A and B are shown apart, each in its own frame.
Chain A
Amino acid sequence: MDRPTLVPADTAWMLVSTALVLLMTPALAFFYGGLVRSKNALNTMMMSVAALGFVGVAWAALGYSLAFGEGSWFLGGVSRAFLSGVGLEPQGTIPQLLFMAYQGTFAIVTAALVSGAVVERMRFGPYLAFITLWSLAVYAPVAHWVWGGGFLARMGALDFAGGTVVHINAATAAFVAAVTIGQRKDYARQAILPHNVPFTLLGAGLLWFGWFGFNAGSALAANGTAALAFVNTMLAPAGTLVVWTVLDLLRSGKVTAVGAATGIVVGLVAVTPAAGFIGPMPAIALGMVAALPSYFALVYRARTRLDDSLDVVAAHGLGGTVGALLTGVLAAKSWNGSVDGLLHGNPGQLGIQALGVLAAIAWSGVASYVLLAAIGLVTSLKVDRREEGLGLDVSQHGEEAYADDQGAILILPREGTAAPAAVPALAAAAAEAGRS
């Protein structure tokens, strides 16, 4: 191998890609935020926004080193903790510092994905603790297995941009969190409807846009593989959207907007592990096939007791699994120059892919549970019923998404300014009358 040198074109593309992937986290905030009730809109969006800070800092402090530092088959080391030795020297053909930032955006959005299973009920403090620790204890090891030279990489598991590392990993944690924290009090007792479907469509659109950086950026260069991944990222969700639309039509005779937004995300998830390994027509087929399990899992899940509120398991878990397995089927040496899948005479690849999926589910399931149980020992994970009824925007954040200034009395910074006394007096009179 030649001595690594920086390539300006690659560096330019990766700068753009990093920004694109970072945008996916606020995009997810809109996608998730639109799907909840208005009294929980800010809380849901903050669950994604907060990851930008907490996971971002954790990644620089330790996560990057655990995932990409020199280490064992299981975990990187602490040699690059606090970015020691992470400078402008080439990592591949781009500065290592940029590589670190690019990978950091993945850790952030993966942690934020988990929130979809616990919205409208999880206390915000324990949530922050959970995603921060989760990014170190769960995300970093799995990223190391696949991309940091860990055992899945050595076995030849294919995960171009993170079907296993990001989506199956997040979905498993989401499942565990939904079960551990429990249902919303209204779940399966009342209709819980999305409060702003246009937000969800906006989020899906911005996710798609950011996903070009996620998948095409995973080539880590401005080359043909990036172009392949880019085109597949355009075509596979298109296939999913078509099939999702047809399924909606067959089932209810109407094409739903929430369904379209969901279909787009499922297609993006499914093509993630395959993006740089398969041809464009197979990518459309992959997107189409991926619609089926997720669609029916969504319909089925709503009838179960599992309050995975925004269907992280159905969309990301199943979409990611279908994508990971189909990567082992559809991979073509003629496109990726290195590995063939089942269809091109290499059935063993499918087994390796399946093993990767199972390994991620096992680790994420156990470690996520341990983290939640540990935090649950220190403090309660869930808001009480009264706070849940009031909404988490007010109870957790002291803000409302759609505040009304009627009845909002300014608290002036200086003490002693007469607050309007008339209204409390009325309340006192009512209490005196012996009624509540």
Chain B
Amino acid sequence: MKLVVAIVRPEKATEVLEALFRADVQGVTLSRVQGHGGETEKVETYRGTTVKMELAEKVRFDIGVSDHFVEPTVRAILAAARTGDVGDGKVFVLPVEKIYRIRTGEEDRAAVTPVQVVAAGRA
């Protein structure tokens, strides 16, 4: 089991999500974060005050996956989040010791395998 952490551009977040869904990756946590990478800073001016904005808005995906899902997940993110410019972000793949599904208490691989959605849940 791995935890895939991806930091991407906010304007690419929707595309990444769509790519993940197309790759059958359904369990995703998303947060808005700020970070600094290699991108050129933005200079902004408000009346007499000029500032360098050193933190850029990013979106962070946290995705727990079983081993054979790591590659499709990473490939989906790389393809969907890339613009080719500095600032496209990073993907980290981390080892995971243990995973529990809170609802059922299932562990590890069973915990990150999507359940069949009950018809009533979608209605």
Contacts and interface: CB of A to CB of B under 8 A. Distances in A.
B37 A400 contact: no
B30 to A, nearest CB: 15
B44 A423 contact: no
B34 to A, nearest CB: 6
Interface residues of A, number: 27
A408 B52 contact: yes
B38 A407 contact: no
A389 B37 contact: no
Interface string A383-427: 001100110001000111001111111110000000000010011
A403 B83 CA distance: 24
Chain B binding surface SS class: mixed
A190 interface: yes
A431 B11 contact: no
B115 interface: no
A399 B11 contact: no
Given A386-B83, A406-B34, A427-B36, A399 B45 contact: yes
Given A190-B14, A430-B38, A431-B38, A386 B54 contact: no
B44 A400 contact: yes
Interface residues of B, number: 25
A191 interface: yes
A63 B38 CA distance: 49
A407 B15 contact: no
Given A394-B44, A398-B43, A411-B52, A191 B14 contact: yes
Interface in A69-92: none
Candidate in B34, B54, B83, B85 with the most chain A CB atoms within 10 angstroms: B54
A411 B46 contact: no
B51 A408 contact: yes
Contact of A389 (B9, B38, B46): B9
B44 A427 contact: no
A252 interface: no
A389 B44 contact: no
Interface of A: 39, 186, 190-191, 385-386, 389-390, 394, 398-400, 403-411, 423, 426-427, 430-431, 436
